[in-house]
């Protein structure tokens, strides 16, 4: 997982944008896929990934 983040450096700016948008949309899709008690955990994980992305970028 972390190797994938390090390799993001070779991606173009547009691909960064798509990745960030995908990460931010994850909680919205998980609302339909998981029961409510799991959705909060998914949201927390998504926030962690988003913060990690912004730190690396």
Q: pTM for this structure?
A: 0.29
**Rounded mean pLDDT for each run of 10 residues along the chain, 57 residues in total:** 51 62 64 55 71 69
Question: Cα dist. 14→8, 35, 36, 46, 53 in Å?
Answer: 12, 33, 33, 20, 14
Element (H, E) at 40: helix 36-56
**Quick one: which of 15, 24, 18 has its CA closest to 45?**
24
pLDDT recorded at residue 50: 74
pLDDT recorded at residue 9: 54
Coil, helix or strand at residue 1 = coil
pLDDT recorded at residue 47: 74
pLDDT recorded at residue 43: 66
pLDDT recorded at residue 1: 45
């Amino acid at each position: 997982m972390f190797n994938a983040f390090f390799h993001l450096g070779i991606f173009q700016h547009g691909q960064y944008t798509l990745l960030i948008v995908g990460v931010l949309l994850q909680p919205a899709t998980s609302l339909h896929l998981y029961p409510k008690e799991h959705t909060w955990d998914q949201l927390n994980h998504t926030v962690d990934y988003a913060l990690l992305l912004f730190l690396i970028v």
